Amino acid sequence: MKRYLMNGRVINPATNQDDYLDVKLEDNRITEVGKHLIPENGSEILDVEGCFVLPGFIDLHVHLRDPGLIHKEDMESGSRAAAKGGFTTVCAMPNTLPVIDTVNRLSYVQERAKKCSGIHIEQISAVTMEQKGTELVDMKAMSEHGAIGFSEDGQSVADVALYADAMKQAAELDVLIMAHCEDKKLLRGGVLNEGVASKRFGVPGISHAVEDIIAARDIFLANDYGTRLHLCHCSTAGSVELVRMAKKMGVHVTAEVCPHHFTMTDEDITYEDANFKMNPPLRTKADVQALIQGLQDGTIDAIASDHAPHSVEEKSKGFLHSPFGIVGLETSAALSYHTLVAGGVLTPMQWVEKMSWNPSRIIRIDQERGSVEVGKLADIMIWDPKAEYPVNVNEFVSKSKNSPYAGRRVTGRVVMTICEGNIVYQDASYAVSDGV
Ligand code: DOR
């Protein structure tokens, strides 16, 4: 099967290319990128004039809830949400039921992913058995069976000595630690940022130190052992500064931020709506500025959604009792494009770098993915940069709708997502196909 993407603007950080180019896909590969390609007879031609042609986006941080929590999401619905959001690769966190902490459980997810998903699903292993923080998983076996990284997401490993052992092993195995930075004791039942908002609503707050202390701890552990460390969902000015310092020190550290942390502050919280509750919480204006500065100067490498689906029932228990988390796969690209690119903070190239190229390098899949380049997998996203519309949560294909962005106006829309040459999502309102 031959398919041509004609007249689009290819933006490809891997080759530092931003140009009007045609792209030829043959079966699951990109076989030609150039000016004025002449399509072969019998091939399919997609005219994508006015659109960006991008490497398929890669989300380093999602919760697919499969196995065990499939009333929130499952492999199939999560994959469809990802494809609709422009993602061709997502990394699933291990805090499922059971936790992904053995090779058997890892194989289960990998099999499910093969069967029910049109995109690439990479699985992250837990750091400790059942995420209980007392015994390390068999890191060697998990990495040999394809775990893309190790994370205790939703928790942190409180026992520093045990975590040091994990960091040491990770360095020896040359695998990635993806750190959720949170001191659970210091959390003290907090539900939103400590400060103006926690005072206004009279509820326990989550201090900045809850995150910063563990970010610092993890950076220094990684420094001691030479571990590859990735900090998940940085939300504070402090953690950005720590990453900046660590990079200067030569620590192998990378970091991600989530769209909600740079598009909202704790002042935007509607207390009656637990869809504003996530962990880490929405922070202050100064934090948002620091995150944006970090994105601009390269301290922050990636944007990840932390897609955390929860049912309506679970989220209707009020701010104090609802679970932390919001969905993000279907809004991540438009929220970040709107705020960062349309908002004049990042160039389109820098945005694509954070959404695809850098993530592919962090998890070392860049030999095959993350670039619109001859020989790479045909993982591609077509983006309309001019579309403007309000977020409609009822159109989400995720099983869960727990988003605080209902009605929020955004810029940019996914027109089509192609994974290994297959069209896995196409927006119905665009007629881009006129096969020959
Ligand atoms: O808000 C969050 N939700 N933060 C996490 O770290 C975990 C996640 C979840 O699993 O729901």
Q: Which atom of ligand 1 is nearest to the CA of 325?
A: 1
- Please tell me the distance from the alpha carbon of residue 112 to that of residue 215, in angstroms, as a whole number: 33
Q: How is the chain split into domains, by residue range?
A: 2-53+377-386+395-435, 56-362
CATH classification (class only), 56-362: alpha beta
Strand 422-426 vs strand 409-419: parallel, antiparallel, or unpaired? Answer: antiparallel
**Rounded distance from Cα 93 to ligand 1 centre (Å):** 10
Per-residue pLDDT of the chain (436 residues; tens, 9 = 90+): 999 999 999 999 999 999 999 999 999 999 999 999 999 999 999 999 999 999 999 999 999 999 999 999 999 999 999 999 999 999 999 999 999 999 999 999 999 999 999 999 999 999 999 999 999 999 999 999 999 999 999 999 999 999 999 999 999 999 999 999 999 999 999 999 999 999 999 999 999 999 999 999 999 999 999 999 999 999 999 999 999 999 999 999 999 999 999 999 999 999 999 999 999 999 999 999 999 999 999 999 999 999 999 999 999 999 999 999 999 999 999 999 999 999 999 999 999 999 999 999 999 999 999 999 999 999 999 999 999 999 999 999 999 999 999 999 999 999 999 999 999 999 998 876 554 4
How far from 78 is each of 106, 147, 185, 284, CA to CA, in Å?
17, 19, 32, 31
Q: Whose CA is nearest to atom 1 of ligand 1?
A: 325
Residue closest via CA to ligand 1's atom 5 equals 154
Measured CA to CA, the distance from residue 233 to residue 191 in angstroms comes to 16
CA distance linking residue 174 with residue 385, whole number of Å: 38
Ligand 1 atom with least separation from CA of 233: 6
Smallest CA-to-CA distance from 94 within 122, 133, 134, 70 is with: 122
| Ligand 1 centroid from CA 323, angstroms | 8
Q: How far is Cα 68 from Cα 71, in angstroms, rounded to an integer?
A: 8
For residue 131, which of 168, 158, 104 has the smallest C-alpha distance?
Answer: 158
pTM to 2 decimal places:
0.98
Residue 41 CA, ligand 1 centroid: distance in Å? 50
Give the residue among 266, 279, 252, 283 at the shortest CA–CA distance from 183.
279
> What is the amino acid identity at position 101?
D
Specify the pLDDT at position 436: 45
Task: List the beta bridge partners of residue 232.
Answer: none
- Identify the burial level of 378 via C-beta atoms within 10 angstroms of its C-beta, where 0-12 means exposed, 13-18 middle and 19 or more buried: buried
Catalytic position from the list 22, 101, 153, 306: 306
Rounded to whole angstroms, how far apart are CA atoms 64 and 70?
8
Residue 413: both structure tokens together: 């829309």
**Nearest residue (CA) to ligand 1, atom 6:** 154
Give the residue carrying structure tokens 């504070």. 236
CATH of 2-53+377-386+395-435, one of 2.40.30.10, 2.30.40.10, 2.70.160.11, 2.60.40.10: 2.30.40.10
d(CA 305, CA 292): 16
Choosing from 73, 178, 324, 403 the residue with most ligand 1 atoms within 8 A of its CB, the one to mutate for a pocket test is 324
Catalytic-residue membership of 306: yes
Q: If you count DSSP H runs as helices and E runs as strands, how many of each does the chain have, helices first? A: 14, 17
CA of 306 to the centre of ligand 1 (A): 7
Instruction: Check residue 430 and give its pLDDT.
Output: 84
- Give dist(CA 272, CA 285) in Å, integer: 22
Predicted local distance difference test score (pLDDT) of residue 431: 72
Find the residues whose C-beta lies inside 6 A of ligand 1. Answer: 63, 95, 153-154, 180, 278-279, 308, 323-325
Alpha helices, H only, 202-346: 208-225, 237-249, 259-263, 285-297, 318-321, 332-336
CA distances from residue 46 to 8, 325, 388, 435 in whole angstroms, order as listed: 10, 38, 22, 7
Residue owning the nearest CA to atom 2 of ligand 1: 325
User: Which residues, at least 6 apart from 159, have a Cβ–Cβ distance to it below 8 Å?
Assistant: 133, 134
Amino acid identity for residue 17 in this structure: Q
Ligand 1: atom nearest CA of 232 is: 6
Most informative mutation of 232, 279, 305 for ligand 1 (most atoms within 8 A of CB): 279
Cα of 187 to ligand 1 centre, how many Å? 14
pLDDT at 433 (0 to 100): 57
Q: What element of type H or E holds 186?
A: helix 184-187
